[in-house]
A and B are shown apart, each in its own frame.
Chain A
Amino acid sequence: MISLAQTYFIEVMTIILYCLLIFVPLLLGVVMALYADRKIWAAVQKRRGPNVVGPYGLFQVPADGLKFIFKEIILPDGSDKTVFLIAPIITLALSITAWAVVPVQAGVVLANINVGILYIFAISSLGVYGILMAGWSSNSKYPFFGALRSAAQMVSYEVSIGFVIITVLLCVGSLNLTEIVMAQKTMWFFIPLFPMFIVFFISALAETNRPPFDLPEAESELVAGYQTEYSGMPFVLFLFGEYINILLMCAMTTILFLGGWLPPIDIYPLNAVPGFVWFLLKVIFVFYLFAMVKAFVPRYRYDQLMRLGWKVFLPLSLFAVVATSSILFFFNLAPGM
C-alpha cells in the first residue's frame, strides 16, 4: 500500500492542483458575472446598480457572499433534510464538473476526452436533479411548482440543444471540443449555421432558467420557485451553480459557434494575442448578450414557453439536421467522406 500511495500521490496532487486552477478563476468569474449582470441591468433601466461597496461597487458581490455565509441555515420542519441539503451541493458540483473538458486555448484543458461535447450535454442534463430535489424536499407548494416547471422546461429545451449540437457535429466530424474549435479555422460556424446559433442561444437561456424563461423562479407567481425555502450557504450554492451554468453555456456558444480561442482574422497583431484572451472576450460578449436579454425581454407565459420549445425549435432544429447533412452529403463537404 505504501508504494501505491507513492505512485499515485504526485498524480493525485497534480490533478487537485489543476482542479483548483479551474475552480478559482471560475469563482472569480462568477463574482464578476453577478456584478456585471446587475450593472448592465441597471444601466438599461437608467439606474446606477451596485455602487457603494468598494470602488464602483466592485465588492458588492463578495460582501453579499459574506452576508450569506454568516446567515443561519434554516431547515424547514417538514422537509426531507438530507435531500434538502444535498440538492444545492449537487447543483454546484455538477456545474463545476462540466468545466473539466472546456478548452480555453489550444491544448489548455484539464481532460481532453473524445466525447467532450456529449460529456457536457450529459452533465447539463443532470442539472435538473438539483432543482427537482430542492423543490420536492422543501415540502412546500411554491418550490414544488417551481421544480415541476423547471424540470419540464429543461428537458424540453435539451432536445433542441441536442439537435443543434448534432448540426455542428456534422460539420466537424468529431465529438472532441478542441477539434470542434479547430474545424472553425476557416469560418466560424455562426456564419453558415446562423439560424442554429439563434436557436442555441435562446435554448441556452431556457436551459439555464434565465429571463425571459425564468418561470421556475418567477417571483410574481412563485415567490422564488425552488429556492424559496433556502437560506444562507445552501442558497449561495444554488446561486453560484446557476451562474457557473450560465458561464458554461456562454463558453459552449463560444466553442460551438464563435470559434473558441481563435482570433477573428488570422493576421499578425490579432493572432499574437494568447488564445485564452480571445476565449475570455467571446465568453464575456455572450454573457453581455445574456444580460441584455434579461433587461429587455418580458417574461414568457408558461404555455408559450412550451409551445416555443416543442412546436417551433424542435421542428426547426430537426429540419436543420436533415438539411445540413443533405448539403454536406451532396456537395461532398462532409468530414471523413
Chain B
Amino acid sequence: MTAQLLTFYLFSGVILISSLMVISTKNPVHSVLFLILSFLNAAGLFVILHAEFLAMILIIVYVGAVAVLFLFVVMMLDFKTSINKDNILQYIPIGILIGVVFVAELVIVLINTKFDLSNIQVLPNPLSDFIGKSNTEAIGSVLYTDYILYFQLSGVILLVAMIGSIVLTLREREGVKRQAVSEQLQRQGKIDLVDVKSGKGVDI
C-alpha cells in the first residue's frame, strides 16, 4: 500500500508541476512537452487504478497522435515575436473565473456523492458483473452493447469533423500535374527492353 501511495504522490506531483509549467514557460514548444509529460503521468495514475486499458489508450491517442500534431504546429510557429509580457496580466481575471467555475462544479458533484473511504479496496473493481474479467473485456462488453448508440454517434461526429476540415482546406489549383500511379503501372507494350550494341547505339 505504501508503495502505491508513493507512486500516486509521484505521478500526481509531476502532473501538478508540469501543468503549472505548461502555462508558465515562455517557450510554446516547452509548454507542449510539459503537457505531454502530464498526459503520461495521468496514464500512470490510471495504471494505479488498475485501468491499464484506459492508460494505454490515453497514451496512444493523446500522446501518440494528438500531442504530436500540437507539437507539429507549434514547432513551425515563429514564437520569438509572438510573446508579449504585458498580455499575461490581462488573462488573469478570465483564468480566475474559469477556475472558480471549475471548483464550484467539483464541489457540487462532491456534495452529492458519498465516499466510503474505509472501503477503498472496492474502487478498482466497482461492478460485480465484471469481476474476473480484464478491463479491456469489461469496457468492450459495455461499450459495444449498452452504449453502442453513443459510441457510434461519437464516431460519426468525429467523421463529420474530419470531412469538414478536409473540405474547408481543400483547394483545387490550376496547372498541377499529378502522378497517376495505376496508369503508369498499366502502361504495358510501350516499354521495351533493348539490348544496346556497343558503339552502334539504338533507335528510339
* B14-22, B67-75, B121-129, B169-177: which lies at the interface: B67-75
Task: Kindly identify which residue among B59, B71, B72 contacts A122, using a CB–CB cutoff of 8 Å.
Answer: B59
A83 interfacial by beta-carbon distance below 8 Å: yes
Contact A8 B3 (CB under 8 A): yes
Contact B60 A118 (CB under 8 A): yes
A155 interfacial by beta-carbon distance below 8 Å: yes
Minimal Cβ-Cβ distance residue in B for A125: B64
Contact B60 A122 (CB under 8 A): yes
Q: How large is the interface on B (under 10, 10 to 19, 20 to 34, 35 or more residues)?
A: 20 to 34
Task: Kindly identify which residue among A118, A152, A158 contacts B57, using a CB–CB cutoff of 8 Å.
Answer: A118
Contact flags A135-153 to B (C-beta < 8 A → 1, else 0):
0100000001001100110
A291 CB to nearest B CB, Å: 28
Q: Please measure, in the bound complex, the distance between the C-alpha atom of A83 and the C-alpha atom of B53, giving whole angstroms.
A: 30
Q: Please measure, in the bound complex, the distance between the C-alpha atom of A172 and the C-alpha atom of B179, giving whole angstroms.
A: 40
**Given contact pairs A126-B59, A132-B75, A118 touches B53 in the complex (Cβ within 8 A):** yes
Q: Collect the chain B residues with CB atoms within 8 Å of residue A158's CB.
A: 64-65
Contact B75 A125 (CB under 8 A): no
B45 interfacial by beta-carbon distance below 8 Å: no
A67 interfacial by beta-carbon distance below 8 Å: no
A271 interfacial by beta-carbon distance below 8 Å: no
A23 interfacial by beta-carbon distance below 8 Å: no
Contact flags B68-103 to A (C-beta < 8 A → 1, else 0):
100110011000000000000000000000000000
Task: Kindly identify which residue among A83, A114, A155, A304 contacts B68, using a CB–CB cutoff of 8 Å.
Answer: A155
Q: Please measure, in the bound complex, the distance between the C-alpha atom of A132 and the C-alpha atom of B59, giving whole angstroms.
A: 17
A307 interfacial by beta-carbon distance below 8 Å: yes
Contact A151 B72 (CB under 8 A): yes
B56 interfacial by beta-carbon distance below 8 Å: yes
CB under 8 Å from chain B, chain A span 121-171: 121-122, 125-126, 128-129, 132-133, 136, 144, 147-148, 151-152, 155, 158
**Given contact pairs A113-B52, A151-B72, A307-B181, A125 touches B65 in the complex (Cβ within 8 A):** yes
Q: Collect the chain B residues with CB atoms within 8 Å of residue A119's CB.
A: 56
A4 interfacial by beta-carbon distance below 8 Å: yes
Task: Kindly identify which residue among A4, A113, A148 contacts B2, using a CB–CB cutoff of 8 Å.
Answer: A4
Contact B65 A155 (CB under 8 A): yes
**Given contact pairs A113-B52, A136-B75, A126 touches B64 in the complex (Cβ within 8 A):** yes
Contact flags A290-314 to B (C-beta < 8 A → 1, else 0):
0000000000000110010000000
Contact B60 A114 (CB under 8 A): no
Contact flags B8-52 to A (C-beta < 8 A → 1, else 0):
000000000000000000010110010010000000000000001
Contact B33 A133 (CB under 8 A): yes
B181 CB to nearest A CB, Å: 7
Contact flags A1-23 to B (C-beta < 8 A → 1, else 0):
00010011000000000000000
B67 CB to nearest A CB, Å: 8
Minimal Cβ-Cβ distance residue in A for B43: A122
Q: Please measure, in the bound complex, the distance between the C-alpha atom of A147 and the C-alpha atom of B57, giving whole angstroms.
A: 25
Q: Please measure, in the bound complex, the distance between the C-alpha atom of A129 and the C-alpha atom of B33, giving whole angstroms.
A: 9
A180 interfacial by beta-carbon distance below 8 Å: no
B134 interfacial by beta-carbon distance below 8 Å: yes
Q: Collect the chain A residues with CB atoms within 8 Å of residue B52's CB.
A: 113-115
Minimal Cβ-Cβ distance residue in A for B29: A136
Among B33, B56, B76, B135, max chain A CB count under 10 A is at: B56
Contact flags B171-198 to A (C-beta < 8 A → 1, else 0):
0000000010100000000000000000
A248 interfacial by beta-carbon distance below 8 Å: no
CB under 8 Å from chain B, chain A span 101-128: 113-115, 118-119, 121-122, 125-126, 128
CB-based closest 6 A-B pairs: A125-B64, A118-B56, A122-B59, A114-B134, A122-B60, A136-B75
**A residues apposed to B, CB below 8 Å:** 4, 7-8, 80, 83, 113-115, 118-119, 121-122, 125-126, 128-129, 132-133, 136, 144, 147-148, 151-152, 155, 158, 174-175, 303-304, 307
